[in-house]
Structure 1
Amino acid sequence: MNDLANHPVKLGGVHHAAYRCRDAKETVEWYQRVLGMDYTSAFSEDHVPSTGEYDPYMHVFLDAGNGNILAFFELPNQKDMGRDENTPKWVQHLAFRVASEEELLAAKEHVEGLGIDVLGPTHHGIFKSIYFFDPNGHRVELAADIGTDEQYAELKRVAMPMLDEWSETKKAPRHADWLHEIARKEHNL
C-alpha cells in the first residue's frame, strides 16, 4: 500500500498524551497511589502558549514507563468537565501494559484493595485486561500480552483485509475468529 520506510515523518514514540482532569493534585496522587506512576513535571500558565488566549491552567506530567508520559490539564475557568455522551464509556480509555498475567492479577488485587471496582480479567485472545475508572471518569485498562509471535504475525497479516471488509460492510470481519475461540476455550463456553 504505502511505502512507510520512505515516509517523510519519522516518529520517535509518543511524547505525551494529554487529558483533562477535575483536580490536578488529586489526579497526580491517584496515579501515584494506584499505578505507581512518577510525577515528573508541571507547567502552569495564565495564557495558552499555542493560541495566546487567557485560560489559566495546570498541566501535570506522569511517567507511565519506557518514556511514555501521561499528562493532564486542570482548567478552573472552563465549564465542568464532561464526556462525549454519544460515545460509550468503554470506548475511550487509557491502556497500560504490564509484563505478565501474574502482574496483571497482582495489580487487580492492589487496585481492589484501594476500594476501586475492577472489571476482569477479560480474555482478548492475545492479551488479558482489567478495567477501572480514575477519579475523572477516564477508563483505565491494564493489559498483559499473552499471545505468540505467530498469533501477532497472523493479526498483522489480516489487518488490511479486515479493515477493507469493515469499510465496505460495517460488519465485523471474521478473519480473526480464532482469537474468540481461544477466549471461549479458556472460559469453557
Structure 2
Amino acid sequence: MTGAPVRLGGIHHAAYRCKDAKETVEWYGRVLGMDYTTAFAEDHVPSTGEYDPYMHVFLDAGNGNVLAFFELPNQTDMGRDENTPAWVQHLAFKVGSEDELLAAKEHIEAQGIEVLGPTHHGIFKSIYFFDPNGHRVELAADIGTAEQYAELRRVAPMMLDEWSQTKKAPRHADWLHEIAREEHAKAKTGA
C-alpha cells in the first residue's frame, strides 16, 4: 500500500451498460451461472437529479464480487470506444482450474457462442467471447507457481519505468512468454 488514507475493502461492484436488462440477466445466468441478486430502477438519477429512467441490475460473480448493468432506454443506442481495439476492454472472471476452463469453453460453445482460446499467458490460461451487449468476456485459470508470481511482482516496477520511457514491451519478463511459446509448440506437436 502507498500510505494513502483510503483503505479499500475490495470492489463493491463494477457497472456497465446493457441493451436489455432482462436479456442480460438471463444470459449471464445461463452462460456463466451468475445469480441475479438486486435491481434498482429510478426515473431520476440520484446523484445528479436529472430525468433519465434506468434499470440497474446486479449479478453475483462469486467470492463477494458483483457485476452490474444499466439499461438506459432514453439514451442513444449504446456503442463502444471506436478508438480502442475490441480486445482491450473486457470483463475477466476467474475459474478454479484449467479443467474448469475447458469445461466452461465446451458449455459456452454449446450455447452457440463463439469462443477464442484457450490462450496461454504464461501464468494463466484464458478463453474469450462476447456477451449480447458486445462486451468482451474472459474466463481465466491461474496456472503459475508462487515463484513466478513473486518474480512478476518483483519486476513490475522496473517494467513500468521502462515502458514509461520507451513505450515498448520491456524484456524483464521474457521468461513468461517463453513458457507460453513452449506450451504452444508442445500442443502443435502433440507432445
Q: Which bracket does the TM-score occupy, shorter chain normalised?
A: over 0.9
Match among 113, 116, 141 for residue 116 of structure 1? 113
Percent identity for Structure 1 against Structure 2: 85
After TM superposition, the score normalised by the length of structure 1 is 0.97
Q: In the alignment, what sits opposite 1:161?
A: 158
Structure 2, unaligned runs of 5 or more: 187-191
Gaps of 5+ in 1: none
SS in structure 2 opposite 1:182? helix
1:182 aligns with 2:179: yes
* Residue 188 of structure 1: how far off its partner (Å): 1.2
Does structure 1 residue 25 correspond to structure 2 residue 25?
no
Hey, what does 1:58 align to over in structure 2? 55
Equivalent position SS for 1:44: strand
Give, in whole Å, the separation in 2 of the partners of 1:40 and 1:61: 6
Corresponding position of 1:150: 147
User: Displacement, 1:7?
Assistant: 2.3
How far apart, in 1, do the equivalents of 2:61 and 2:185 lie?
Answer: 35
TM superposition score normalised by structure 2: 0.96
Give per-residue Cα distances to partners, 1:112-151, cap 9 Å, x unaligned: 0000000000000000000000000000000000000000
Q: Which consecutive segments of 4 or more residues in structure 1 shift more than 3 A?
A: none
In 2, distance between residues paired with 1:68 and 1:47? Answer: 27
Count residues in correspondence.
Answer: 186
**In structure 1, C-alpha distance between the alignment counterparts of 2:119 and 2:166, rounded to whole Å:** 27
* CA distance in structure 2 between the partners assigned to 1:29 and 1:179 by the alignment: 38
Distance 2:43 2:33 in 1: 30
Mapped partners of 2:74, 2:4: distance in 1: 41
Q: Which amino acid aligns with 1:47?
A: H
